[in-house]
Structure 1
Amino acid sequence: MALFSYTGTNPSDPGSYTPITSTPPTCLTPTQQMCYIEADADLNNKPILTEDLKDEMLNSLQNQVNGPNVHLKRR
């Protein structure tokens, strides 16, 4: 799996992510928003957003907790 930093405005759009080529970022503010995800990459080096990953994103954002593949900005 690859790491992708959330840099857009729509978490369900693969175009809202940028590949991370080094260590995961330390996302600080605003808090409890998407920071980065772990997902398989497609041929264009964009994340493949499966329904399971989208469900995990919703759960993480609604409950303000990190998931196995979804990492929120720190509080």
Structure 2
Amino acid sequence: MDNDLSHDHSHKIGNYNRAFAIGVILNIVFVVIEAGYGLFAESLALIADAGHNLSDVASLLLAWGANVPATKR
């Protein structure tokens, strides 16, 4: 019986590009739907929240852009 306990349980993600892309796409879809319905319903609150979510998209894009050179050697 082998008693080697040096196996690896690491769940490290090497590449976050897919996660950033999914986050950006989902947020953009949400912004479009929320802004569209906000205009349809004449709801300033929905339109303002869509603008807030658009700033979240900008933040994700900024973080994604910063992640690219950070992962280079």
Shorter-chain TM range is: under 0.3
Greater RCO, CA 8 A, separation 6+? 1
- Bigger share in helix: 2
**Structure 2-normalised TM-score?**
0.28
